[in-house]
Amino acid sequence: VVSLAVSAPRHAKVSVLGAAGGIGQPLSLLLKQSTLISELALYDVANTVGVAADLSHIESAAQVKGYVGDSQLEECLQGSKIVIIPAGVPRKPGMTRDDLFNINAGIAMTLAEAASKACPDAMMCIISNPVNSTVPIASEIYKKNGVFDPRKMFGVTTLDVVRANTFISELKGTPVTQTQCPVIGGHAGITILPLLSQVEPSCEFTDEERAALTVRIQNAGTEVVEAKAGGGSATLSMAYAGARFAFALLQAMNGAKNVVECSYVESDVTDDLQFFSSLFFWDPTESKITSESEPDRLRTAKVGRNEARTCR
C-alpha cells in the first residue's frame, strides 16, 4: 500500500476520451451525477455532440460539452484534472486481450500524446484494453515528453474488484456493499489474482470454492463476451467500475481520508515487474509518494504468491 499526493479544486473538469462508445456513454452518464465535477468534456471520433446534448438535459451541476475529431482533442483536454480513456474496440468472441493490442495500442498512444501536452498534470485513468499494455505505452509517451509522474498514471482494474466482491457475496451470503476483496497483479486472465484470504468480512473457503472463484473472476470478461454472443463485451459493469474509481479519486483530491482502491501502476511492490496492480491509498496531506517499511511493503505481493500457490 502506498500513499499518493493529490490536490485539485473542489469542482474539477473531467474528460472522457471515447465517450460515444459502449463504455463511454454509460460512464459519462454516471459521472454527470457527481457534485465534484463542474465540467464534463466528452471526446470521440464521431457522435459525441449528440451524446453531450442528451446528457446536458440531466438536472445535475456538471456542464457537458462534446468534442469530435483530432482538431478538437486539445480543446477537450485543456484544464482537465482527470482524463479517463475507455476508447478502443471491444473484445469479441474468440478474441484475447492480446488480439486487441494491434488496434488499441495505437489509440492509446495518440490520446496519451495529446494529454501529455494539453494537460500533463491531470490524473490519467486508462480503461482501454489490454490494460497490461496500454498503461506502459502511455507511461512511455509521458516519459518521452518529460511529464511522467507515477502518482498520476492509473490502469483501471476496479472491475476485477467489483466482480470479486459480487461473486463472493453471492457464494457466501455476505452483504454485497460491505464485501471487499483486493485484487492484485494485472488485468488479463491468470494475471488477475484475487486475495481471497484478505476478504472482509472474513470468509472461509474450501479448496474447491477458492479454485472456482479465482477462475471465474479471472474469466469474467469472457463470460460476458460469450453471453452477449457477439453483441459486445462488458460495457455497463466496466462503466460502473470506471466511475467508482473516478469518484474515489475525486474524493481523495478533495481531502477525503482513507480512500483506498486497487490500480495497475508503475510500482516497486515486486522486483520482477515494472507495473503491478495493488492497493493504493490516496493521502492529500503527503507531498510525495511514500511507502511502508520493506516487510509491510511486500506483504501484499507475498500474500499474492501464496494465493497463487494454493490455487495451482
47 Cβ contact list (under 8 Å, min separation 6)? 20, 68
Beta strand 192-194 pairing with 259-266: unpaired
C-alpha cell at 23: 463504455
- With residue 195 as reference, give the H or E element that holds it: none
- Residue with C-alpha cell 490494460? 131
Contact criterion met (CB below 8 Å) for 188 and 97: yes
The C-alpha atoms of residue 114 and residue 50 are separated, in whole angstroms, by 23
- Tell me the sheet residues that pair with 194: 183
- Short-list 281, 256, 249, 253, CA closest to 182: 281
- Residue with C-alpha cell 488496434? 103
Contact criterion met (CB below 8 Å) for 83 and 73: no
∠ CA(30), CA(90), CA(236), 5° rounding? 25
Q: How many CA atoms lie within 13 A of 87 on its CB side?
A: 26
- Tell me the sheet residues that pair with 110: none
Q: Which residues are catalytic?
A: 187
- Residue with C-alpha cell 497463487? 308
Altogether, the residues listed in the chain come to a count of 312
- Short-list 216, 172, 210, CA closest to 307: 210
